[in-house]
Structure 1
Amino acid sequence: MDKERKEQLIIKICCVIAAFALWLFITGTENPLTAYKIRNIPVKILNTEVLTKSNLVLAPGQDLTTSLNIKGANTSLLLNKKASDFTVVADLGPYALKSGEYKIPIEIKKSPDNINVVNSDSLFITIQLDELTKKKLPINVNISGKPKEGYYASTPALSSDYATVSGASKLINTVKKIVINENIQGLEADISRKYKLKAVDESGKEIKNVVVSPAYINVKIPVKKTKSVGITVKTTGSLDSKYTLESIKAVPEALDITGSLTELNNLKYLNTEAVDLSKINKSTTINTKIIVPNGLNLAGGSNVVKVQVNLNNQNVANGADKAEKVDKTVQKDLSLDIKANNLNANYEATLDNNKTSLSVSGVESVINYLDLNKVSAQVDLAGLTEGKNSVKVIVSVPKGVTLISHNPDKVGVTITKKQTEVPTTNDKSK
């Protein structure tokens, strides 16, 4: 009996020893000291002010990250570690730097507990330094789209005309313009706001990683009402007696003007600077400036127009030997009522402007005794129905008189249907 108990005790002790050995085996097998690599850990560059003192800058597009090999007894613990759990730095302070490539040692400032960094003594980061370059450029405003019909966008007013772009010389060399972009499609009022400046290359692509100073500027884009105004050619002096003026006109015959509504409504036509007829002895085309009243502006383009002068040679027409003395050519300004013709009897018409201003020229004996009943201005309303219409003004002048210009050359006509009156009766017999 004692022998049997002793054998059972020995068996129990052997089982305990075996269980402990198995536990040691399992622990060593399932939770070994494991190695793991964490990638893309940002490297913070210290003492970058030494770059500014040396007129240097970090070249753009560099991968300023590193990888760490770590070990720990718990695999799941390692797998849960992230790049943000580590702080690594590279210090530029101890170095005398110039443009080029440098290999800077990395220092681990912070890491999680119970984690060993295996490669901490062999960590370096390669950085590329470039010369810090500055360039001063004019600011360009790129306007796209068109304002509402009848409006015009004038030249933008900028709080600063120039900006400075700075950065790595490799990038600055590609910067060709500093721009602002604005779409004015359909606008009918001024734009005034702050815009961010962009540095772009030759193709208009924005260049990143450069500094534009100032970063923002104030810009006003005036958007004003426009009006098409006819041009009257003014003359001075007289032609030589052997010539008569066949025609004289400006090309173009009208220009768009911007300004306040009141000023535009008061403007009937534009005058040219006087053309001296005494200096003209053949049909010709000359450049002449337009006189723009104060408070108004031309809607783009030049203030110079071409004036076409066509002459008749009286000596050629009548024979050089039989030439008679010819009156000098003069110019006269007139104002006429505009008549509406050929309107359907069922409609009524209202003209936005009932008068037109015109300039005529001819020999003095004809112009001085010009019968105004033979000069007419009319609009043909045949075929028009209800609504708003723009109709050409037709001016007729007698023989021997040259029409130089008339304004307006078109008028707005509103056509409405006549109201039919229905008689009413009061029948008291019922």
Structure 2
Amino acid sequence: MDKERKEQLIIKICCVIAAFALWLFITGTENPLTAYKIKNVPVTMLNSDVLTKSNLVLVSGQDLTTSLNIKGANTSILLAMKASDFTVVADLGAYALKSGEYKIPIEIKKSPDNINVVNSDGLFITIQLDELTKKKLPINVNVSGKPKEGFYASKPELSSDYATVSGGSKVISEVKKIVIDENIQGLESNTSKEYKLKAVDESGKEIKDVVVSPAYINVKTLVKKTKSVEVTVKTAGSLDAKYTLGSIKAVPDTVDITGSLAELDNLKYLNTEEVDLSKITKSTTVEAKVIIPKGLNLVGGDAMVKVQVNLSSPNASSGAATTEKVDKTVQKDLSLDIKYNNLGETYLATLDSSKTSISVSGLESVINNLDLNNFSAKVDLTGLTEGKQSVKVIVSMPKGVTLVSHNPDKIGVTITKKQTEVPVSNDNKSK
């Protein structure tokens, strides 16, 4: 019995060995083929210049790829295949094309030697063609940020004011602007830089499936120093004798000016065009132009200000004439000592300038009786520590007086720490 079992086991083992040997023979000599599918194989368009000649363009966003069914003897080789291992083309030169949809036959120009493409015959790709359209548009500059404080950036100068955008008629109809984005944050000197042009739709979203020509332009931005300058009202003529001028001032009473440093340093204030007081019979507001000297420019806005003229009560009742002298508005220059306050107890301060020159205006009767004790010029050193600082000079004046200008309006302050005194002990003294 045991002998029979052993014989059956030997027979089974022999069968397994024979089957394995047969499998080795078949795979080694017969090479059975394995099927596999390669997706997203790019299709190259041959003779695409016929589109330009026919004033056509491929509609953007199309899937210009195909899938190939391949077979090979080695599964591992098939699995290693990539779309880039194949060259697939579609020839546009054999067709009379116009806008619309076309099914173009495709041809496999190159494939690996050790595989077969099963579906090489009867392959097609569907393409959409649109009329080539061009549009010329002005270039817009989207400026963001601000230059460094005390500086002004002029309007950007472009190497080209217009650009042409081209593409399919449908996508070109969505293009509303051609723009560049310029950031001037912190600028304090002139800049010249090349920027890429973008075609955008109504909402400002970039449209990429078009060609913008030129693709890049140069943008130059001039940056100049600015200064805030007081505006004084220049008058002509005299009020009727029965009126007294209460006050006259410009609104706004300061404007920002840009120009060379030398010109700005010499500028103390700006005058308006003359306001004719002989035509004023009641408190009113009139417009007047600010006179901007040659070589200087106003920063933003226009050169017009509103002049508020306030008259005091008439000097005579019932319209009766009087010979009382009219109290006119006049100006006067003064010199003030600059002092500092709010310096920390552990610090010392040295001012670069000890005086400031100011120009004030007001009624003649007030200006002629000014007391310098009612004026002060101070710099606030609150929170400042060691080092060189630039601090604004704050001028205080009595009521009825208007500050026209003051120079300097900022001064340098050097702050140092007080030296700590070390007490001398008796032992040290005896030595």
TM-score where L is the length of structure 2 = 0.79
The alpha-carbon deviation at position 313 of structure 1 amounts to 4.6
**1:124-143 matches, cutoff 5 A:** 124-143=124-143
**Closer, same or farther: CA 145–383 of 1 in aligned 2, 3 Å:** closer
Q: CA deviation at 1:215?
A: 0.9
- Structure 1 counterpart of 2:52, one-letter code: T
Once the two structures are TM-superposed, the CA of residue 376 in structure 1 deviates from its matched residue by 7.0
Q: Which position in structure 2 is the counterpart of 1:324?
A: 322
CA distance in 1, matches of 2:355, 2:136: 53
Q: 1:354 aligns with which of 346, 353, 356?
A: 356
Amino acid paired to 1:338: L
1:165-199: CA deviation from partner (whole Å, max 9, x where unpaired): 22122322222222222222223222211111112
Corresponding residue pairs, total: 396
Residues 345-388 of structure 1 show CA distances to partners (whole Å, capped at 9, x for unaligned) of 986655486212234455xxx59x94676797531469879765
1:180-199 superposed matches below 5 A? 180-199=180-199
Structure 2 counterpart of 1:4: none
Do the aligned partners of residues 320 and 297 (structure 1) sit closer, same or farther apart at CA in structure 2, a change above 3 Å counting?
same
* Between 78-87 and 340-349, the greater mean CA deviation after superposition: 340-349
Residue 278 and residue 92 in structure 1: after superposition, are their counterparts in 2 closer, same or farther (change >3 A)?
farther
**Structure 1 pair 381/35, CA: closer, same or farther in 2 (3 Å)?**
closer
The aligned runs of 1:124-203 (5 Å cut-off) are 124-203=124-203
Paired with 1:28 and 1:418, the residues of 2 have a C-alpha distance of: 94
Partner of 2:10: none
Q: Is the 1:285–1:306 Cα contact (8 Å) retained in structure 2? A: yes
State how far apart, in whole Å, the 2-side matches of 1:164 and 1:241 are: 69
Counterpart in 2 of 1:106? 106
Question: Who is 1:412 aligned against?
Answer: 410
| Contact 2:379-2:394 at 8 Å conserved across structures | no
Whole-angstrom distance in 2 between the partners of 1:337 and 1:81: 90
Question: What does residue 289 of structure 1 align with?
Answer: 289
The Cα offsets for residues 126-164 of structure 1, whole Å up to 9 and x where unpaired, read as 111122222222222222222222222221111112222
Q: Cα deviation per residue 1:311-335 (whole Å; 9 max; x = unaligned)?
A: 2352xx5312543134456554432
Q: Distance in 1 between matches of 2:379 and 2:85?
A: 85
After TM superposition, the structure 1 = structure 2 runs for residues 82-121 of structure 1, keeping only pairs within 5 Å, are 82-121=82-121
Q: Structure 1 residues 90, 352: closer, same or farther in 2, change over 3 A?
A: farther
Identity %: 64
Partner SS state of residue 354, structure 1: strand
Q: Aligned pair 1:394/2:396, yes or no?
A: yes
2:241 equivalent in structure 1: 241
Counterpart in the other structure of 1:378: 376
Q: Secondary structure at the match of 1:120?
A: coil
Write the distance in 2 (CA, Å) between the matches of 1:106 and 1:372: 98
Q: Report if the CA contact (8 A) 1:152-1:258 is conserved.
A: yes
Cα distance, 1:246 vs. partner?
Answer: 1.3
SS of the residue corresponding to residue 264 of structure 2 reads helix
CA contact (8 A) 1:257 1:296 kept: yes
Distance of aligned partners of 1:154 and 1:270 in 2 relative to their CA distance in 1, 3 Å threshold: same
- Deviation, 1:23, is 6.8
Counterpart mapping for 1:252-291 below 5 A: 252-291=252-291
User: Per-residue deviation at 1:231?
Assistant: 0.7
- 2:44 is the counterpart of 1:52: no
After TM superposition, the structure 1 = structure 2 runs for residues 3-18 of structure 1, keeping only pairs within 5 Å, are: none
Q: Deviations over 1:17-75 (max 9, x none)?
A: x99x9379623898313332211111111222222233221111111001112233444
Which residue does 1:13 correspond to in 2?
A: none
* Alpha carbons 2:339, 2:354 under 8 Å: kept: no
Instruction: Give the 3 Å change call, closer, same or farther, for CA 116–262 of structure 1 in structure 2.
Output: same
Report how far residue 254 of structure 1 moved: 0.9
Unaligned stretches of 5+ residues in structure 2: 1-17, 422-431
- The CA distance in 1 between the partners of 2:415 and 2:108, in whole Å, is 88
Q: What SS does the corresponding residue of 1:32 show, helix, strand or coil?
A: coil
- Work out whether residues 358 and 403 of structure 2, in 8 Å CA contact, stay in contact via their aligned partners in 1: no
Provide the C-alpha distance between the structure 2 equivalents of 1:306 and 1:30, rounded to a whole number of angstroms: 102
Give the secondary-structure state (helix, strand or coil) at the position aligned to 2:290. strand
CA contact (8 A) 2:245 2:326 kept: no
Q: Deviations over 1:254-299 (max 9, x none)?
A: 1122222211111111121222223333222222222222222222
Per the alignment, residue 218 of structure 1 pairs with: 218
Q: Greater shift after overlay, 188-197 or 343-352? A: 343-352
Match of 2:63, as an amino acid? D
* 1:374/1:24 CA distance change after superposition, 3 Å: closer
Query: How far 1:302 moved relative to its partner?
Result: 2.2
Aligned partner of residue 35 in structure 2, secondary structure: strand
CA contact (8 A) 2:245 2:329 kept: no
Query: Matches of residues 224-235 of structure 1 in structure 2 within 5 Å?
Result: 224-235=224-235
CA shift digits 1:209-265 (9 cap, x unpaired): 211111111111222222111111112233333332211111111112222221111
| Aligned: 1:41 with 2:41 | yes
Aligned CA distance change for structure 1 residues 418 and 325 (closer, same or farther; 3 Å):
farther
Q: Is the 8 A contact 1:358 1:407 kept in 2?
A: yes
Q: Which amino acid aligns with 1:159?
A: S
